[in-house]
């Protein structure tokens, strides 16, 4: 596939975009680029270095060169001071602050530049997942997919992913946290979460992971041949 071949997968928290994007990339021998990991890396860097969650300070932090995307086995991983932080960025503390960080236009500009640079670096093409990939970052992506699922199902999947409790009260509580983050991401002024007009919307509530990966890989093969 050509160097500028981009597949954009957007959707809310727990819709399965990152794991789906990774599997689609593998099926097509493309690289995977998780934009949320970069917002999380900026948040982690701020928490670790005691930098206040304030736009000017975070802009300076992002431009300091401390945070970089590094390609490892066809996966772009976030690094902080040269150390892979792909696990650390998933912490609860980071999750609690990341939507506020991602609402800052100067942080978004920096992340978007890094994403575009990473995509250009990879000679076969990339599958990029996030909230605004098809709408803002790669508006010319060859294929745009928007994944959705009911909140309760997304909470259940997130609990499994994080090894958390599957008790219904706990799933309900997690669902409320997820719904609050969806709301923050969908109602913010800059690059709100919404499907691009030309995105294929797939509701994954009732379909298997393998089926959704196969559906998207099939769509990608078709646009590549066209």
> Which residues contact ligand CDP by CB under 6 A?
13, 18, 35-36, 39-40, 98-99, 102, 130-133, 181, 185
The smaller minimum CB distance to ligand CDP, of residues 153 and 185, is found at 185
Q: CA 39, 43, 45, 51 torsion: positive or negative?
A: positive
CB of 115 to ligand CDP, least distance (A): 8
Which among 105, 109, 95, 100 is positioned nearest to 53, based on CA atoms? 100
The smaller minimum CB distance to ligand CDP, of residues 95 and 219, is found at 95
What distances in angstroms separate CA 30 from CA 50, 119, 138, one per listed residue? 37, 10, 16
CB-based contacts of 188: which residues, under 8 Å, 6+ apart?
A: 99, 102, 103
The smaller minimum CB distance to ligand CDP, of residues 40 and 144, is found at 40
CB of 35 to ligand CDP, least distance (A): 4
Which among 8, 7, 6, 9 is positioned nearest to 148, based on CA atoms? 9
How far is Cα 41 from Cα 34, in angstroms, rounded to an integer? Answer: 11
Scanning the structure block, which residue is given the tokens 């089926």? 211
CB of 225 to ligand CDP, least distance (A): 28
The smaller minimum CB distance to ligand CDP, of residues 29 and 109, is found at 109
CB of 172 to ligand CDP, least distance (A): 18
């Amino acid at each position: 596939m050509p160097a500028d071949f981009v597949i954009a997968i957007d959707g809310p928290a727990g819709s399965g975009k990152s794991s789906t994007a990774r599997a689609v990339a593998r099926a097509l021998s493309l690289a995977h680029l998780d934009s949320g990991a970069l917002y999380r890396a900026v948040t982690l860097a701020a928490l670790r270095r005691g930098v206040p969650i304030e736009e000017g300070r975070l802009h300076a932090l992002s431009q300091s060169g401390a945070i970089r995307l590094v390609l490892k086995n066809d996966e772009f991983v976030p690094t902080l001071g040269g150390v892979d932080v792909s696990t650390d960025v998933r912490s609860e503390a980071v999750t609690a602050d990341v939507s506020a960080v991602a609402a800052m236009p100067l942080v978004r500009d920096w992340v978007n530049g890094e994403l575009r640079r990473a995509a250009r670096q990879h000679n076969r093409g990339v599958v990029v997942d996030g909230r605004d990939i098809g709408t803002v970052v790669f508006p010319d992506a060859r294929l745009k997919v928007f994944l959705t699922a009911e909140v309760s199902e997304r909470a259940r999947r997130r609990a499994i992913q994080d090894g958390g409790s599957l008790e219904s009260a706990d799933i309900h509580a997690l669902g409320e946290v997820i719904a609050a983050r969806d709301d923050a991401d969908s109602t913010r002024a800059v690059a709100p979460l919404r499907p691009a007009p030309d995105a294929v919307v797939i509701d994954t509530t009732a379909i298997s992971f393998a089926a959704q990966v196969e559906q998207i890989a099939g769509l990608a093969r078709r646009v590549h041949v066209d």
